[in-house]
Amino acid sequence: MTEVYQPTPEVRSFLDRQHRLLIGGKWVEASSEKRFEVINPANKQLLTTVAEGGRDDVNRAVQAARQAFDSGSWSEMAAAQRTKILWRWADLIEQNAEQLIALEVLDNGMPITLARGFFDYGVGWIRYYAGMTDKIMGKNLSDALSSSDTQYHAYTQIKPIGVAALILPWNGPIGLFLIKTSPALAAGCACVVKPAENTPLTALRMAELALEAGVPEGVLNVVTGFGEAGEALAQHPAVDKISFTGSTSVGKTIICAASANLKRVTLELGGKSPCIIFDDANLDEAIPAAAMAIFLNSGQVCFAGSRLYVQRKIYDRVVAGIADFSQTLKVGDGMHPDTMLGPLISEQQLHRVNQLVDSGRRQGAQILTAKMALSNEGFFFAPTIFANVDANMSIVKEEIFGPVLVATPFDTTEEVLALANDTQYGLGAGIFSNNINRVHRVAEKLQAGNVWVNHYGGMQSCMPFGGFKQSGWGRELGEDGFLAFTEQKSVSIQLRGN
């Protein structure tokens, strides 16, 4: 029997609130007055209910954002002042860290140690982009354009794009909220955020803190709700930019919806990332790293290293090592400090993972991990490793989004590159090797937006993050993450007279 977590008074008082939509700086009910339930995936208990925003509410939120943007209250504020407010927001979020982290764990299920790590990343992203407001600027191109006959004063400007719709998934709610709002706000945009229906809570609290920090009314709006609200945002003619993180299938519908007014679109989508271990790797480091590449957050990570390729000479040892390691991972309620793997997000997700694992078994793949006794109070799933897989099986091709690894031996570099790149996705890839020449050659040929060598994963402020192929369009983080919320204008003035 696991210990039952008792929420602190700050967490309890937040859960007990009547959660509404944030539109134009005011907390309002959905126009339908509908609400939906928020469930703790570790015990299936009701945490609270939130307003279910629909098309009307999206319309109101977009209008509020449009008005705020056009008023210039934020978009034309001195850059240094925007920086100050964003820093204050980061400070307030940090001051409320314990409450936000507990809400994150209750809402999403992730282990509290992981929630702390993601939280630190997220706050770092606010400060990184807060510092960028007065560092991204246009160029003076007068000399390039002018001649002795005709002189120009010519320059480019970087302008905020306007109203940005930010649609989020559930697998890292704090971080995903901040990875989009921080650059969008720093660039001077007004935003409408649609958090995932499974995990709406921390977005509401962080938006409240943004108001307290001094973000003007209407600049940050939050509409909690389902896919219908996301669809309304993607279709809305007054939205200039859509930044979507979620599944590849919904990402494709976003592109169609956005085409009506040619919204700018950034997509961060699914993955089936390869993790490659060569026989010269330091296995004491590679084995736990490859295990956590897939098992972190119970495999509910877009860049999870879900396909393992190991050079034949060390294959048995590595696969057995990862299987042994996985048995040491405590699966349970994320609130328990020893928990290493929390539950999956929902009944539906548990069902999907079970179905895919069954399909692997039926198709002849072999499970190497021992059965674990898991509580059925929550949506728990044990770490699972498959061997004897072939490249056409669903478990090898499809994103499972659960703690399920498929392992394949290889002989040569050419062979493993062909296997690793044989996917519709291209988000992440890992290489473990001590041969620097091999590392460079393989990193060069991998079709993935992010390659990690002798470590796996991570989303650092300064490193652009995003996918090749059907893992997405565009990049988040780094300067690219900021520029994604801007337009460039070229101005040339022909000079006359003496």
Report the interface residues with ligand NAD, using CB under 6 A. 167-171, 194, 196-197, 226-227, 230-231, 234, 245-247, 250, 253-254, 268-271, 302, 399, 401, 427, 467, 472
DSSP E strands in 247-295: the ranges are 264-268, 274-277
Q: How far is CA 213 from CA 13, 207, 208, 303, in A?
A: 21, 10, 9, 33
CA distance 413 to 404: 25
- Residue 324's SS3 state is helix
φ, ψ of residue 469 to 5 degrees: the values are 50, -135
The residue (of 450 and 486) whose beta carbon lies closer to ligand NAD is 450
Q: Shortest gap between Cβ of 297 and ligand NAD (angstroms)?
A: 10
- Burial class of 494 by CB neighbour count within 10 A (0 to 12, 13 to 18, 19+): exposed
CA distance 259 to 311: 45
Q: Shortest gap between Cβ of 58 and ligand NAD (angstroms)?
A: 10
Q: Shortest gap between Cβ of 425 and ligand NAD (angstroms)?
A: 9
Q: Is 302 a catalytic residue?
A: yes
- Residue 341's SS3 state is strand
Any idea which residue has 């940050």 for tokens? 220
Considering the candidates 189, 197, 302, 399, report the single residue annotated as catalytic.
302
Q: Shortest gap between Cβ of 443 and ligand NAD (angstroms)?
A: 20
- Closest-approach residue to ligand NAD (CB): 230
The residue (of 111 and 230) whose beta carbon lies closer to ligand NAD is 230
Q: Shortest gap between Cβ of 408 and ligand NAD (angstroms)?
A: 21
CA distance 260 to 237: 7
Q: Shortest gap between Cβ of 306 and ligand NAD (angstroms)?
A: 10
The residue length of the chain stands at 498
The residue (of 74 and 129) whose beta carbon lies closer to ligand NAD is 129
CA-based Rg of the chain, rounded to a whole angstrom? 24
The residue (of 385 and 427) whose beta carbon lies closer to ligand NAD is 427
Considering the candidates 52, 268, 399, 476, report the single residue annotated as catalytic.
268
* Cα within 13 Å of Cα(392), Cβ side: 2
Residue 462 DSSP one-character state: T
Task: Write the DSSP string, 113-152.
Answer: HHHHHHHHHHHHHHHHHHTTTTT----B-HHHH--SS-EE
- Residue 329's SS3 state is coil
The residue (of 160 and 172) whose beta carbon lies closer to ligand NAD is 172
Q: Is 462 a catalytic residue?
A: no
The residue (of 5 and 473) whose beta carbon lies closer to ligand NAD is 473
The residue (of 58 and 308) whose beta carbon lies closer to ligand NAD is 58
Strand partners, 163: 190
Q: Shortest gap between Cβ of 240 and ligand NAD (angstroms)?
A: 16
Q: Which residues are known catalytic residues?
A: 268, 302
